[in-house]
Amino acid sequence: MTLKITSWIIFGFALIFSVSACTSNASPLEGRTPPAPTVTPQASSTWTASPPPTLSPSHTPRPEGEQIPSPETPQTTPTPHHCWNKGGYLSREEILTTELEHPLEFGVYLPPCYYHQVDRYFPVLYLLHGLYSTDVQWVRMGVVDTANDLMAKGEIPSFIIILPRDQDWSLPPDNKFGEMIISELVPWVDGNYRTIPGHEFRAIGGLSRGGNWAINIGLQHWGMFGAFGAHSAPVFYSDGLQIPRWLNDIPDERIPRIFLDIGESDGNGAYIYKFENMLSERNIPHEWHLNPGTHNEEYWSAHLGQYLRWYSEAWQEG
């Protein structure tokens, strides 16, 4: 059901006076009856990278300058292997872009046995950090440790995680970070790692400001991402009047999977509530969680397992 234009003009102008940044000590949100909260146990945030093997299969794509690994016995199927016990591989890369002042830096997590299963290709999850932080934020909160654990247990499938760094705190459209993810980073990743092509094997998500980017990119580039998640996202005020149009432009059969969550004591969530209401009024399928907690890393790290399970849900094998 289409929202009345008047209400969205009011929403858009209200967003202009909102703050896209976040505060760690926020007052509870009012004016909405919360659904039953869901809580995910907190994952460990400590991880020590295991070095990759020393020699690599000749046909395995890899970025320039990366250490050349080599499995002892290459595996081509997802059967158990000793490499599962060593965890995934975490590296840091950068590429020059046409629009950004600085090189686009990003972390790369390759799943366990990536270099042993040399004929296997993987889905990709892009995770975006919050305001005044960097791509290291997700690692600090424990995303690598959580991914290693859940993949080793078979609770989630193996996939690649890309952690781009936004170094410009301006808003879109002035900030070209989102455009560079689409036009330059995604093609580079697909050209240098064994990724599965197709939007259904690619997802994007973010926390706080990164969640704003996930909404911005996910709605405009639904042909590239089959799912997006926004965790405690205040919503860019510059996107306020655009969101209804973006939703109208997406064919019903191509609506991405959508995940929204926020802490019930998060004072920055007024407009994520409005966005969720819009999705509900339009009968757009989405997953919504209002959990105990506020706007901080303790909240997000406690839900890492829930996030990774949701993003990879459509990638489960068999």
Q: Domain holding 133: CATH number?
A: 3.40.50.1820
> Using an 8 Å Cβ cutoff, are 164 and 171 in contact?
no
Closest residue by Cα to residue 220 from 181, 185, 259, 184 = 181
In a domain, 7, yes or no: no
In a domain, 132, yes or no: yes
pLDDT of residue 81: 66
- With 0-12 CB in 10 A as exposed, 13-18 as middle and 19+ as buried, what is 265? middle
pLDDT of residue 86: 84
* Structure tokens that stand for 89 in this block: 């591989």
Q: How many residues does the chain have?
A: 318
pLDDT of residue 37: 34
In a domain, 17, yes or no: no
Q: Give the C-alpha separation, 156 to 124, whole Å.
A: 13
pLDDT of residue 80: 53
* Dihedral Cα 297, 225, 122, 207, nearest 10 deg: 0
| Residue 195 DSSP symbol | B
Residue 302, phi then psi, degrees to nearest 5 = -65, -20
Give how many domains the chain has, as a whole number: 1
- With 0-12 CB in 10 A as exposed, 13-18 as middle and 19+ as buried, what is 85? exposed
Per-residue b or e along 154-193, where b marks 16 or more CB atoms closer than 10 Å to that residue's CB? eebbbbbbbbbbbeeeeebeebbbbbbbeebbbebbeebb
In a domain, 157, yes or no: yes
In a domain, 107, yes or no: yes
Residue 162 CB-half CA count within 13 A: 26
pTM score of the predicted model = 0.77
In a domain, 112, yes or no: yes
Distances (CA, A) of 206 to 83, 174, 201, 214: 29, 20, 17, 6
**Domain range enclosing 156:** 65-315
In a domain, 60, yes or no: no
pLDDT of residue 26: 33
Closest residue by Cα to residue 268 from 65, 18, 88 = 18
> Using an 8 Å Cβ cutoff, are 208 and 232 in contact?
yes
Q: Give me the tens of pLDDT residue by residue for the chain, a chain 318 residues long.
A: 443 344 444 444 344 434 334 433 333 222 333 333 333 333 333 333 333 333 233 233 333 333 323 333 333 344 456 788 889 999 999 999 999 999 999 999 999 999 999 999 999 999 999 999 999 999 999 999 999 999 999 999 999 999 999 999 999 999 999 999 999 999 999 999 999 989 999 999 999 999 999 999 999 999 999 999 999 999 998 998 899 999 999 999 999 999 999 999 999 989 999 999 999 999 999 999 999 999 999 999 999 999 999 999 999 875
> Using an 8 Å Cβ cutoff, are 261 and 304 in contact?
no
In a domain, 190, yes or no: yes
CA 240, 21, 296: angle at the middle one, nearest 5? 120
- With 0-12 CB in 10 A as exposed, 13-18 as middle and 19+ as buried, what is 44? exposed
Residue type, 118: V
CA 220, 242, 280: angle at the middle one, nearest 5? 85
